[in-house]
């Protein structure tokens, strides 16, 4: 009797339960939508993944500098002849932080490294072994493994490519 009105239809409490469950379903759906990451994550910062081999020397000793330059030249020659960059980095690099990882510098933002290395990382073709790069730390050989450009930087690259294509003589 309490659950039925005079006409035999359900009383108000049963009708309200439909709305409560509908609201619970909507809240659940919104929670799932918000908590699951968007598949196309916007890239706000450009990053590059590179590896290097470092040979250090005493900056005050010209003989040590010549020896280090000879050693880095030999390593670069071996890489260009097909020897494995990572193995050579593990064997010869004098960067204690990256040596055990085959010279892997990880993913880094623009401006992370000293000028010569940073310039190379952001301008070189992927996979190309650099010429010898002298820095205050010593002599480096660098190889860029990958780059992820921010949305803004990718847009600038595309605009510049279109401008260059339009300005080419036919």
- DSSP for residue 10: B
CATH of the domain at 144: 3.10.50.40
Q: For residue 163, what are its two tokens?
A: 């401008």
Whether 121 and 130 have beta carbons less than 8 Å apart is answered as no
Q: Which of 156, 147, 139 is nearest to 66 (CA)?
A: 139
Residues 145 and 78 placed together within one structural domain of the fold: yes
pLDDT in tens, the chain (170 residues): 455 555 555 555 667 788 778 787 778 777 776 666 554 444 688 899 999 999 999 999 999 999 999 999 999 999 999 999 999 999 999 999 999 999 999 999 989 999 999 999 999 999 999 999 999 999 999 999 999 988 887 787 788 788 888 887 76
Q: Is the dihedral of CA 13, 18, 20, 21 positive or negative?
A: positive
At 1 the pLDDT is: 47
Question: How many domains in the chain?
Answer: 2
| Residue 62 placed within a domain | yes
Residues 9 and 76 placed together within one structural domain of the fold: no
Q: Which of 52, 128, 144 is nearest to 92 (CA)?
A: 52
Structural domain containing residue 65: 47-152
Residues 30 and 67 placed together within one structural domain of the fold: no
140, HSE (Cβ side, Cα atoms, 13 Å): 26
**DSSP symbols for 88-109:** HHHHH---TTTGGGTTEEEEEE
Residues 24 and 94 placed together within one structural domain of the fold: no
Residues 110 and 79 placed together within one structural domain of the fold: yes
| Residue 158 placed within a domain | no
Residues 10 and 90 placed together within one structural domain of the fold: no
| Residue 110 placed within a domain | yes
Residues 148 and 82 placed together within one structural domain of the fold: yes
| Residue 81 placed within a domain | yes
- DSSP for residue 86: H
| Residue 166 placed within a domain | no
At 12 the pLDDT is: 57
pTM above 0.75, yes or no: no
Residues 73 and 131 placed together within one structural domain of the fold: yes
Residues 128 and 68 placed together within one structural domain of the fold: yes
Strand order from edge to edge, sheet including 47-55: 104-109, 47-55, 138-148, 133-135
């Amino acid at each position: 009797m309490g659950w039925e009105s005079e006409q035999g239809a359900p009383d108000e409490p049963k009708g309200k339960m439909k709305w409560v469950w509908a609201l619970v379903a909507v809240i659940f759906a919104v929670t799932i939508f918000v908590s699951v990451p968007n598949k196309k994550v916007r890239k706000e910062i450009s990053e590059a993944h590179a590896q290097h081999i470092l040979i250090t020397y005493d900056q005050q000793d010209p003989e040590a500098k010549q020896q280090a330059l000879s050693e880095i030249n030999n390593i670069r020659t071996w890489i260009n002849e097909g020897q494995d960059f990572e193995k050579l980095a593990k064997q010869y690099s004098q960067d204690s932080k990256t040596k055990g990882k085959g010279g892997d510098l990880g993913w880094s933002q623009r401006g992370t490294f000293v000028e010569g290395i940073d310039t190379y990382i952001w301008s070189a073709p992927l996979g190309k072994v650099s010429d010898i790069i002298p820095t205050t730390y010593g002599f480096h050989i660098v190889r860029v493994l990958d780059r992820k450009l921010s949305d803004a930087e990718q847009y600038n690259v595309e605009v510049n490519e279109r401008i260059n294509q339009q300005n080419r003589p036919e």
